[in-house]
Amino acid sequence: MEIIKYNFDVDAGPRSQWYPWVDHNPVDNEFMVTWRTSGRLRNDCEEGDDYECSNSFHIIHGQRVSPDGALQGGILQWSEPVIGWAQIPRIDHNLFTNEYLLAYTYGSEATDGWNAGCETYIARTDNVGTLQNGPYRLYEKGEDGNALLPVVIFNPQEREYLMVVTDRDVFNDYSNNVGYIIGEDGNPVTGPLEVGSQAGDTWAPLGVYNPTNNTYFVVWEDFRHTNDWVLPAEVYGAVIDAEGNMTKEIVIMDDFGMEDAGDQRVPNVAYNPDKDEFFVVWEVKKLSLDEEGIIGSGIRGRFISSDGTIKGEAFTVVDAPRIQHWPSIVYVQEEKKYFMSWTDTRDDGLPPGNPWYFSEKMDIYAGWFDDTGVLVGDEIALCDCEGNQTSGVVAYNPVMKRFLVTWYDRNAPDDWSIVNPNPEDPFGEIPSDVRATIYGAPSFLSGQVVEKGTGNPVENALVFVIGPSLPVLEQTNVGGWFNIEKRSHLSGIYLVMAFKFGYLVTFEIVNYTGEPREVTIEMNKLW
């Protein structure tokens, strides 16, 4: 595999773009990226024209991206500008309705960020990002509530979503993991549901669906041993059944009070259907990852069986010089391997022990890892770039065998100045852009098989290609898409044939000259 498109703009407008998220749409063979934009609405105000130029407005945006990295259509606006707090949007795709469910954090005007008394808003969009309903409040928060960091997980067997948010004062006085089952129509079916034992503050939930057992697995930062989020955290998880009930809470890593105890942060998880197990990864700061006797930082991992049983000890996955954090991981079944991206400060030149937010050079790295968590081959620099790239998220397109990794770039000198900046807040508003890299297999021939007259995709059609190189047989996915990876294909004329019961066999001629070709095959239905 190789870099297909390197470090391209998803949104580099003059306002500030933060914390992107990405999902893959198999029906339309594209990615959808979402993020929060903040800043003044205009930069050309005259004296006395204060409102749009002297306040920071927050908007949730989206952008469709092709497997080649081409932006499809314009930037999508999914919320109205607010002088409050709109943050951390998350989406998941429903392949049956070809829609997305969107969730994000919203705080009203005059609130102050993470302590804003926020609520969770949700919306449905169609395949091209047009709002179908919402955004609207998921539930009414309590008096001291502060709903943050939603995660959305689609269940294709139940055709429902599990949504988990962090909210205070729901089940007790702690910051709780609060779960809801959401129907395809975007309306709550069940909830609130307890995700975890609620024994202390929780933060940053993420999760994955297990199609083998029709369950979910959710992981989070856990502060049950502390009363301040800046103190060391642990990593816990929970198995959730299809109805949203917790069947088991798992201690993924809790070394509180032990020698060489670590500070565990930003856990992520992938499911391996071949071994029916989860691979949980997280950033940890601990002395055994030391640099010159100073606490170091790297990425650790642990395997968990589908029923929540711990499988072996935690181990170091990545530990280069300086800091590696913010892992994002997926399992690629055809490769029998994991692909993980992370933020890396190995080249920032700072002495050991300096926190990541002091760095002036953060890059996005990635790597392949076998089913035991061991690095396979060399690490991949997805963006070894000027300035600070951080908070990468990865999505995989199995038809094209390509990943889109997106992050926000804090090297944005052309952005408009920040309204009321707070230089002492490392998480404060900063000039930034959303960028991405496409990594994966180059293509010889790709395309879509559709029904003639209706344009409906033909799923599970066989596509046979014969010509100067060895013949290849592929099968279309749910959207009728197929792809043949470029190998040693010779230039020349190729015959492309599509077969499916109930349709006439269809032929297309393709002249291959060394560049990737795309074709649409229209099949006539027999009855």
User: Quick one: what percent of the chain has pLDDT higher than 70?
Assistant: 95
DSSP 8-state class, residue 259: T
Average pLDDT, the chain: 93
400, 483: one domain: no
185, 235: one domain: yes
* Total Cβ atoms within 10 A of residue 182: 25
Q: Which of 392, 416, 441 is the last residue of a domain?
A: 441
Tokens 């081959």 sit on residue: 377
pLDDT of residue 118: 86
DSSP 8-state class, residue 457: B
Average pLDDT, integer, range 65-81: 97
Tokens 């952008």 sit on residue: 63
Whether the pLDDT of residue 425 is over 70: the answer is no
Q: Which of 441, 463, 482 is the last residue of a domain?
A: 441
Whether the pLDDT of residue 47 is over 80: the answer is no
> Which distant-in-sequence residues (6+ apart) come within 8 Å of 382 by Cβ?
3, 6, 7, 341, 364, 365, 366, 392, 405, 437, 439
**Confidence category of residue 527, pLDDT binned at 50, 70, 90:** confident
pLDDT of residue 346: 93
Sheet holding 215-223, edge to edge: 201-210, 215-223, 234-240, 246-253
* Total Cβ atoms within 10 A of residue 309: 12
Whether the pLDDT of residue 115 is over 70: the answer is no
Whether the pLDDT of residue 109 is over 60: the answer is no
CATH number at residue 217: 2.130.10.10
Whether the pLDDT of residue 110 is over 60: the answer is no
pTM (two decimals): 0.95
Give me 450's structure tokens: 């559709």
Containing structural domain, residue 473: 444-523
Of the candidates 418, 434, 321, which has an alpha carbon nearest to the alpha carbon of residue 379?
321
336, 432: one domain: yes
123, 229: one domain: yes
41, 171: one domain: yes
d(CA 412, CA 430): 9
**Confidence category of residue 136, pLDDT binned at 50, 70, 90:** very high
Average pLDDT, integer, range 357-362: 88
153, 74: one domain: yes
470, 426: one domain: no
208, 257: one domain: yes
Please tell me the total count of domains within the chain: 2
> Which distant-in-sequence residues (6+ apart) come within 8 Å of 149 by Cβ?
88, 105, 165, 166, 203, 204, 205
d(CA 340, CA 94): 24
53, 176: one domain: yes
- Residue type at 214 in one-letter notation: N
Give me 422's structure tokens: 């707070």
Sheet holding 389-397, edge to edge: 2-11, 433-440, 402-409, 389-397
449-454 long-range CB contacts below 8 Å, 24 or more apart? 449/476, 449/480, 449/482, 449/498, 449/500, 449/506, 449/520, 449/521, 449/523, 450/480, 450/520, 450/521, 450/522, 450/523, 451/503, 451/522, 451/523, 451/525, 452/522, 452/523, 452/524, 452/525
Whether the pLDDT of residue 113 is over 60: the answer is no
pLDDT in tens, 273-292: 999 999 999 999 876 776 66
Under a CB-based contact definition with an 8 Å cutoff, are residues 472 and 485 in contact?
A: no
d(CA 224, CA 202): 8
Of the candidates 429, 421, 415, 208, which has an alpha carbon nearest to the alpha carbon of residue 331?
208
Q: Which of 408, 441, 474 is the last residue of a domain?
A: 441
Whether the pLDDT of residue 517 is over 70: the answer is yes
d(CA 275, CA 17): 39
Whether the pLDDT of residue 116 is over 70: the answer is no
DSSP 8-state class, residue 221: E
User: What are phi and psi for residue 114, nearest 5 degrees?
Assistant: -60, -20
395, 505: one domain: no
d(CA 385, CA 317): 23
Give me 122's structure tokens: 């949700």
pLDDT of residue 83: 86
pLDDT in tens, 373-390: 999 999 999 999 998 999
Whether the pLDDT of residue 95 is over 80: the answer is yes
CATH number at residue 505: 2.60.40.1120
Higher local confidence (pLDDT), 269 or 356: 269
160, 223: one domain: yes
328, 342: one domain: yes
Whether the pLDDT of residue 420 is over 80: the answer is no
Average pLDDT, integer, range 186-192: 95
Highest mean pLDDT, choosing among 51-60, 62-71, 130-139: 62-71
